[in-house]
Amino acid sequence: MIRKLNYCLILLLLIFKISGCKRVSLPHSIGGRDEVILVAPDEFQVDSFINQLEKVEYYPTEENVFNVERVDLSEIDRYKLWRNVIIVGNFEESYINDLLGEEAKEELEKGAQLFLEKDLWVRLQTAVIITGMNTEETQSLLDRSTGTIYRVLREEETERFSKMVYMQGYQEKETKKMEALLGASFKIPLGYRLAKDEAGFMSYIRKNPDRMVTLLYSAESINNPLGFRDSLFSEYFNGDEVVVDSIAVASEDGGIYFIRLTSLDTMNFNDVKAIQVRGVWKNDKLKGGPMGGPFVSYVFQKDGIWYFLDGHVFAPGKKKWPFLEEVNIILNTFKKEN
């Protein structure tokens, strides 16, 4: 169902029906997780929009989270199967008008709007519609909505991928084993195998590329997440350590700014206050040369016990963010035994 997007704060506010739309068995969407199709007539200026949507992240290698392909309206039928589609146009155009129900059309009387539609033409698809009563109004909304649309696409991809990770179920036997030994567990997806089973922690890995998740409990407080991760991984994972340095990046105006590769934030994790660490690990001690990649960790206390959750990735030659998303999804299935 079409949902209005508030480009400032609240992403999902209202639910609208598409007239004549019936949810029957739909084909599966195609296209990569990082591919976005932008359908926009020539009268709209989209270069800045695309540049912002193709924002760069560092894992530590530079990569665009999304790659945007602009296509002409005449090609829209060719791209209806894609998983991420953005459609720009004025309300009076039939290709926009036909997509919106009466409630959505009433909202347009208040000004240009963003609408979100899941599974518009195929399953596991996200479609964002940007429309106003005229070109100036629509362009203005397009110019100021990039951040919202970027967040929507990331959140929708996370939700979509969460379903895919566990589409075939999970390893209940391994999950129960972890729960019995550690008093807590993740849902271990198919394809992961036990890599470490030490006193107080267990790790599971999936190869090609390498993705590893770790769960540790401790009666002693973990007050320094970075130092704790370094000590654990140095001892049990052949010398892995956190990269705390910043990297210099050239700006478009020829200047230099610095990106910190590892950051700490306080957040709510499964209704518990936790420290989240997102960053980069490296290992200069292994044969074959230096290794590294992104990781995400959570540290929190629950019922008098401290927990350390970690997911890290080694994927040379590949985009890292989809695999980092995968391990983060697994970490978020954390469950403590009652």
Q: What is the pLDDT of residues 302-312, one digit of tens each?
A: 999 999 999 99
Kindly give the interhelix angle for 321-331 and 146-165, rounded to the nearest 10 degrees: 60
Average pLDDT value for the chain? 89
Does 143 share its domain with 180? no
Averaged pLDDT for residues 210-220:
97
Does 113 share its domain with 43? yes
Does 257 share its domain with 133? no
Distances (CA, A) of 127 to 131, 139, 247: 13, 18, 35
Lowest mean pLDDT among 16-20, 107-111, 206-210: 16-20
> Can you give the pLDDT at residue 5?
58
Q: Which of 165, 183, 205 is the last residue of a domain?
A: 165
The β-bridge relationship of strands 35-39 and 84-90 is parallel
Does 15 share its domain with 138? yes
Question: Residue 19: which pLDDT band, with cuts at 50, 70 and 90?
Answer: very low
| Side-chain-side CA neighbours of residue 56 (13 Å) | 12
- Are residues 325 and 311 in contact, defined by beta-carbon separation less than 8 angstroms? no
Instruction: Give the CATH number of the domain where residue 268 resides.
Output: 3.40.1000.10
- Are residues 282 and 292 in contact, defined by beta-carbon separation less than 8 angstroms? yes
Q: Tally the domains of the chain.
A: 2
- Are residues 85 and 2 in contact, defined by beta-carbon separation less than 8 angstroms? no
Does 316 share its domain with 186? yes
Please give the structure tokens belonging to residue 302.
Answer: 């629950």
Sorted by sequence, the CB contacts under 8 Å of residue 7 that are 6+ apart come out as 114, 141, 144, 145, 147, 148
> Can you give the pLDDT at residue 10?
31
Q: Which of 129, 145, 165 is the last residue of a domain?
A: 165
Q: Show the domain range for 33.
A: 2-165
Residue 23 has pLDDT above 90, yes or no: no
> Can you give the pLDDT at residue 265?
96
Residue 20 has pLDDT above 50, yes or no: no
Q: How deeply is 309 buried, as exposed, middle or buried, from its count of CB atoms within 10 A (0-12, 13-18, 19+)?
A: buried
Sorted by sequence, the CB contacts under 8 Å of residue 177 that are 6+ apart come out as none
Q: Which of 119, 149, 165 is the last residue of a domain?
A: 165
Please give the structure tokens belonging to residue 292.
Answer: 């590294």
Distances (CA, A) of 298 to 120, 270, 273, 293, 323: 36, 11, 10, 17, 17
Instruction: Give the CATH number of the domain where residue 98 resides.
Output: 3.30.379
Of 94, 128, 136, 95, residue with least CA distance to 112: 136
Question: Residue 109: which pLDDT band, with cuts at 50, 70 and 90?
Answer: confident
Q: Give the pLDDT confidence of 271-318 residue by residue, as tens digits.
A: 999 999 999 999 988 777 789 999 999 999 999 999 999 999 999 999
Does 139 share its domain with 183? no
Q: What is the CA radius of gyration of the chain?
A: 23
Burial 158-173 (b: 16+ CB within 10 A, else e): eebbbeebeeeebbee
Does 115 share its domain with 261? no
Does 144 share its domain with 289? no
Does 154 share its domain with 42? yes
Within 10 angstroms of residue 263's Cβ, the number of other Cβ atoms is: 9
Does 107 share its domain with 211? no
Nearest-angstrom CA–CA distance, 69 and 73: 13
Burial 100-129 (b: 16+ CB within 10 A, else e): bbeebeebbeeebbbbbbeebbbebbbbbb
Does 268 share its domain with 300? yes
Does 7 share its domain with 70? yes
Question: What angle is formed at CA 237 by the lines to CA 231 and CA 243, rounded to 5 degrees?
Answer: 60
Mark out the alpha helices in the chain (DSSP H runs): 47-53, 94-97, 102-107, 135-144, 146-165, 172-182, 225-236, 321-331
